[in-house]
A and B are shown apart, each in its own frame.
Chain A
C-alpha cells in the first residue's frame, strides 16, 4: 500500500510540472480565445537565454531579470507587429499566426544562442529522500511549491483586479471590449509578458530536469491533455488537470503496465483527455458557453 502512495505522490508531483507549462497556455487563451502554439518556443527561448547568460558568468538573479526583460521585449514585439494587426480576426487566423511565431521564436533562440545542449543546475538536489517510508523527489517538491505560489499570485491578479475582468471581456468580444474603453494593446502586452514569465519559470524547471535543448519546446505536448481535462480558461484547472494527468499516467504505468506492456505513460494522458472530451468537452473548470442556434 505504501508503494501505491509513493507512485501516486510521485505522479502528482510530476503532474505539477505539466501544470506549469499549461498555465502559460491558459493565460493567452483567456485573453484571445486562441491556443498559443508558440508557448513551447517561448519556454525554450526563456530557458536558452537564461542558461546562456548564466554561462557567460552573470549571476543567477541578474540573469533571471535580464531574461525577464527579454520576455517583455518579445511580448511587446509580438503585440506590436502581430496581434495589433489581427484585431477582430477570427481565432483561426490568430492561431495560424502563433504557429508562425513558434518557428520564428525557435529559430531566433537558436541563432542567438546556438543549438547545443546546455546543462542547467538550479542548485536543488534531485536526489530522492525518504518520507514516511516513501521515496520522494526533492526537486519535484520544489517545483510543486513554485507552481503553488505562481497559481496563487496569478489567481489573485486575474480574479480581483480590473485587468482580470477586462481579460475575460476581450476573450469574449474584442469589438465590444474596445467600445467600453478597454485598451486591447496594453492588455495583450500584459498577458504575453505574464505568459513569458510563466514560460521562463517552466523553462528553468524543465531545463534543469531535461537539459536546455530544442526538445524543451516539445514539453508543451504534455500540456495539451492537461488543458483538455482542466479546461482552457482556468488557471486552477490547469493545476488540477496536471495532477490528474501526472497521477494517472504513473499509476497506469506501474499497475497496468505489468499486464499490457510498458510505455503506457506516453499515450495514457491523451487517451484520458479523449475520454474527457466525450464526457465534458469544456474540461472540469472550463467556462460553458451557451450558444443559441
Chain B
C-alpha cells in the first residue's frame, strides 16, 4: 500500500433539512496532501458536504475523523482552529476592506498578543503585527495580487475576488483547504491560472485540498482523487481515470450534456 494516512474520513454521514435528505450514508476518505474533487450535478449535496466538514451544518448521523480526532459536533470557528480553511461558492469576502486587510483576517487565529498590548502597541504586539503583515504579503505575492493589495475588495473583478478569497484561506496556513467552485464563472485562461495556483498550493505547502468543480477537464487534470455524488449519494470514488470509466458515473453525470 502506498496510500498516505487519511487526514479526513467521513463514515456514514447523513444530513437532512426538515425531512429532505441532502446527504445519505456518505463515506469516503481524503488522504493527506492530495487534491480530492467532489463532482456531481447541481443539488447533489456537494456544498452541503463541505458545510458539514467545516461545521456549518451538523450531520444527523455518522462519524467524521479529522486529523486523528473523532468529532461529532463542531462549530466553524473550532474547525478553523483545527486548521480547516475554506472559500465559498458565492464569494464571501469582507467587501468594505482592502485586499490586504481581508488576507490579514485570515490570520486571525495566529494572533497571540492581547487586545491591551495591541491597543497600546506594546509587548508582543509590534513584532507580531510585523510578522502578520509579512505573512500576508507572502500570500499576496504567491497569488500575484500585489497590484491590488490596497484596493477595496468590493470593486475588484470577479476573478480577482475569487483569488483574494483563496488568499484569505491560505493566510490561515490551513492543513485542509475546502474550495467551493473556485473556478465558477471564469473563462479558460482564468481557470488555467486558478488551477496553477491550486496545484502550487499543494506543492508548496503540502495542503490537503477538497474542491468542488463542474468543469470535468479541469477536475481530471487537477485532482488525484475523485468522489462523485448524485442525489446526496456517493456513486463513484477513486482515482480520476478509474472513476471516468465507471458506468454508473457515466450514466449519472459524465455522459449527460450540460
Chain A residues in the interface with B (C-beta under 8 A): 156-157, 160-163, 165-166, 168-169, 171-173, 175-184, 287, 289-292
Stretch at the interface among B94-102, B140-148, B245-253: B94-102
Residues of B contacting A181 in the complex (Cβ-Cβ under 8 angstroms):
76-77, 80-81, 108-109, 172
Contact A175 B119 (CB under 8 A): no
Contact A289 B115 (CB under 8 A): no
Contact A180 B172 (CB under 8 A): yes
Q: Nearest residue in A to B152 (C-beta to C-beta)? A: A290
Contact A157 B105 (CB under 8 A): no
Min CB distance A19 to B, Å, is 22
Min CB distance A189 to B, Å, is 14
* Partner of A175 from B92, B120, B155 at Cβ < 8 Å: B92
Residues of A contacting B101 in the complex (Cβ-Cβ under 8 angstroms):
165, 168
Contact B168 A160 (CB under 8 A): no
Contact A157 B115 (CB under 8 A): yes
How many Å lie between the Cα of A157 and that of B77 in the bound state? 23
Residues of A contacting B106 in the complex (Cβ-Cβ under 8 angstroms):
180
Min CB distance B19 to A, Å, is 21
Residues of B contacting A166 in the complex (Cβ-Cβ under 8 angstroms):
105, 108
Contact A157 B119 (CB under 8 A): yes
Contact A178 B77 (CB under 8 A): yes
How many Å lie between the Cα of A168 and that of B95 in the bound state? 10
Q: A172-B93, A173-B95, A290-B95 are in contact. List 17 more A-B contacts (CB 8 A).
A: A160-B119, A165-B101, A168-B96, A169-B97, A172-B94, A175-B76, A177-B94, A177-B105, A178-B80, A179-B85, A180-B106, A180-B168, A181-B77, A181-B80, A181-B108, A290-B152, A291-B154
The verdict on A179 contacting B80 (CB below 8 Å), with A290-B95, A290-B154 known, is yes
How many Å lie between the Cα of A291 and that of B154 in the bound state? 6
Contact B94 A173 (CB under 8 A): yes
* Partner of A287 from B92, B96, B118 at Cβ < 8 Å: B96
How many Å lie between the Cα of A291 and that of B115 in the bound state? 32
Does B28 belong to the interface (CB within 8 Å)? no
Residues of A contacting B94 in the complex (Cβ-Cβ under 8 angstroms):
168-169, 172-173, 176-177
How many Å lie between the Cα of A183 and that of B106 in the bound state? 13
Does B86 belong to the interface (CB within 8 Å)? yes
Does B131 belong to the interface (CB within 8 Å)? no
Does B7 belong to the interface (CB within 8 Å)? no
How many Å lie between the Cα of A179 and that of B95 in the bound state? 16
Question: In the complex, which residues 139-189 of chain B have their Cβ closer than 8 Å to any Cβ of chain A?
Answer: 152, 154-155, 168, 172
In order of increasing CB-CB distance, the 6 nearest A-B pairs are A181-B80, A176-B92, A172-B94, A178-B76, A290-B154, A161-B118
Contact B88 A176 (CB under 8 A): yes
Residues of A contacting B109 in the complex (Cβ-Cβ under 8 angstroms):
180-181
Does B222 belong to the interface (CB within 8 Å)? no
Among B54, B80, B85, B121, chain A packs the most CB atoms within 10 A around the CB of B80
Residues of A contacting B212 in the complex (Cβ-Cβ under 8 angstroms):
none
Residues of A contacting B88 in the complex (Cβ-Cβ under 8 angstroms):
175-176, 179
Does B56 belong to the interface (CB within 8 Å)? yes
A-B contact pairs, 24 of them (CB 8 A): A156-B120, A160-B118, A161-B118, A162-B108, A162-B115, A163-B115, A166-B108, A172-B96, A172-B97, A175-B56, A176-B93, A176-B94, A177-B94, A177-B105, A178-B56, A178-B77, A179-B54, A180-B85, A180-B105, A181-B108, A181-B109, A182-B108, A289-B95, A291-B154
Q: Nearest residue in B to A176 (C-beta to C-beta)? A: B92
Residues of A contacting B86 in the complex (Cβ-Cβ under 8 angstroms):
179
How many Å lie between the Cα of A165 and that of B54 in the bound state? 23
Min CB distance B51 to A, Å, is 10
Does B243 belong to the interface (CB within 8 Å)? no
How many Å lie between the Cα of A180 and that of B75 in the bound state? 12
Does B219 belong to the interface (CB within 8 Å)? no
Q: Nearest residue in B to A156 (C-beta to C-beta)? A: B119
Residues of B contacting A179 in the complex (Cβ-Cβ under 8 angstroms):
54, 76, 79-80, 85-86, 88, 92
Q: Nearest residue in B to A286 (C-beta to C-beta)? A: B96
* Partner of A162 from B76, B118, B168 at Cβ < 8 Å: B118
Q: Nearest residue in A to B155 (C-beta to C-beta)? A: A290
Min CB distance B50 to A, Å, is 10
Residues of B contacting A161 in the complex (Cβ-Cβ under 8 angstroms):
115, 118-119
Contact A173 B93 (CB under 8 A): yes
Q: Nearest residue in A to B172 (C-beta to C-beta)? A: A180
Residues of B contacting A176 in the complex (Cβ-Cβ under 8 angstroms):
88, 92-94
